Amino acid sequence: MACNGAGGCQSGCYKDEETTSDQPTAPSETDSKSSTNLCIKCKLNDVVSGYGGIDDGRFCADCFRSNLFGKFRLAVTSNAMISPTDKVLVAFSGGPSSRVALQFVHDLQERAYKNFEASRDRSLPVFGVGVVFIDESSVLPIPSHEMEEVVEVISLIVSSLAPPRKDLHFVPIETVYSSDCTDGKEKLIEVMNVVSDPTGREDMLLSLRMLALQKVASEFGYNRIGQGYSLPADIQYVDARWEIPVVLPLRDCFAQEINMYCRLDSLKTIKLSTCPSSSINSLVSSFVTLLQEENPSRESTIVRTAGKLIPFHFNRIPEIIDGNVPLATRRRQKRYNLKSNESVSSESFCPLCNSPLDKSEIVDWSNHNNCRSSDTFYTSCCSSCQFQILPPDSTSMEKFYTDLPHSVVARANQVNNGKLNALREQIQDCLLSDGEDET
């Protein structure tokens, strides 16, 4: 019992004890330390840290995995990258980004497959997945024993994935010429030997690699090519300049997060031996990597800033009118992708690297009717390819042109013919017919 006296009570009542018990107690150092180490999402498990990402020390292992996969899935659904009727070819280089891309595409397919098995009518199909590795050992100094090990590791990785089964394609880069790799290898080496500039060699190899991916996708019926993501090479979610659109669903996943995911799940990655490069691409990549290591939040700043740039016409997937595609997917396509009557871009591209041409680089073909094919090709290319890849003298250029893959030459001819036809349509009303007089 407590007294109500205003003065100091000496009776030993519980007034002071009750007052003290009503006041909140300060948390102990142990409780404070324990609460700060808990996952901010589930509030149950200890956080994982040490990977240097922007969310370092915020999530437990399970919530970290869920959060990273959620970024991937949001990119896929928001940009209508994959629909149930698609067949996706995952370009696998063996690095952390392509390894996580393969794992997440597999997880997405596995969930769709389980839903398919659980449904009564099984009306919703499951998208197909294939994996391709481009062997570039014919033009890069990669030891043969290392390439044999790579083939073995990749085969093990793909075969260990749960059903549905995924086809695996090992493709030498020289197959961009023909199925005869021997003849193609010789021409490829001759073409690459002409390019002495380090940046030009990397750009040329990148273009040939994409041509090889396109060829595999076309021959085996794939309608999407999925890749990993890396700065500064990649900016947008979709690259539809090619016949088979390329999708980049890991755009919102940071490099440190991808590396941490590989460590948490013990995902096997591969790093091929390469010589140090002094190219502009390598220097910029090294600079961005340094920024990521010093301050991981800079990667987010770079991606957000780049995302504010006005995208090209080809950074969306053309709308596909297919009654088998679910209604929700078709609605997303109408919202984010091109309409069917907009599928033909007004942009012009370099026939060699396929980059968009500046207005100043677009040629008036009405003045080039009698030029040699090699000269026409040279003029059609962007200024970067003219400076870093193409030989300056006409004789070497003629040899270089004849050694190019047929797909590159055919694309250049198609573009040039298209420009001539477009020009002819523009001046059609001003042309005289055979029976008309000039007066």
Find the mean pLDDT for residues 68-97: 93
Segment 337-356, tens digit of pLDDT: 444 334 444 578 999 999 88
Find the mean pLDDT for residues 248-268: 91
Element (H, E) at 247: strand 246-247
Residue 31's pLDDT band, with cuts at 50, 70 and 90, is very low
Coil, strand or helix: which one is 168? strand
Give the integer Cα–Cα distance in Å for 190 and 186: 6
Q: In what order do the strands lie in the sheet with 238-239?
A: 167-172, 128-135, 87-91, 224-226, 246-247, 238-239
Give the integer Cα–Cα distance in Å for 176 and 297: 40
Segment 293-323, tens digit of pLDDT: 777 777 777 777 777 777 777 887 766 555 5
pLDDT score at 15: 47
For residue 286, how far is the Cα from the chain centroid? Answer: 19
Phi-psi map region of 57: left, alpha, beta (phi>0 left; psi -120 to 50 alpha): left
Q: Which residues fall within 8 angstroms of residue 405, CB to CB, at 6 or more apart?
A: 176, 177, 208, 211
Domains and CATH numbers, the chain: 61-271+304-334 (3.40.50.620), 359-430 (no CATH)
- For the chain, the residue count is 439
Element (H, E) at 299: helix 297-307
* Burial state string for 377-389 with b = 16 or more CB within 10 A and e = fewer than 16: bbebbbebbbebb
Give the integer Cα–Cα distance in Å for 63 and 60: 5
Find the mean pLDDT for residues 55-70: 89
Element (H, E) at 133: strand 128-135
pLDDT over 60 at 290, yes or no:
yes
Which of 53-57, 140-144, 299-303, 333-337: highest mean pLDDT? 140-144
Phi first, then psi, for residue 14 (nearest 5°) are: -100, 20
pTM of this prediction exceeds 0.95: no
Q: Which residues fall within 8 angstroms of residue 388, CB to CB, at 6 or more apart?
A: 195, 197, 199, 200, 203
Are 326 and 119 a contacting pair, CB within 8 Å? no
364 burial (CB, 10 Å; 0-12 / 13-18 / 19+) is: exposed
Residue 19's pLDDT band, with cuts at 50, 70 and 90, is very low
Rg over alpha carbons for the chain, rounded to the nearest Å, is 29
pLDDT score at 264: 93
pLDDT over 60 at 193, yes or no:
yes
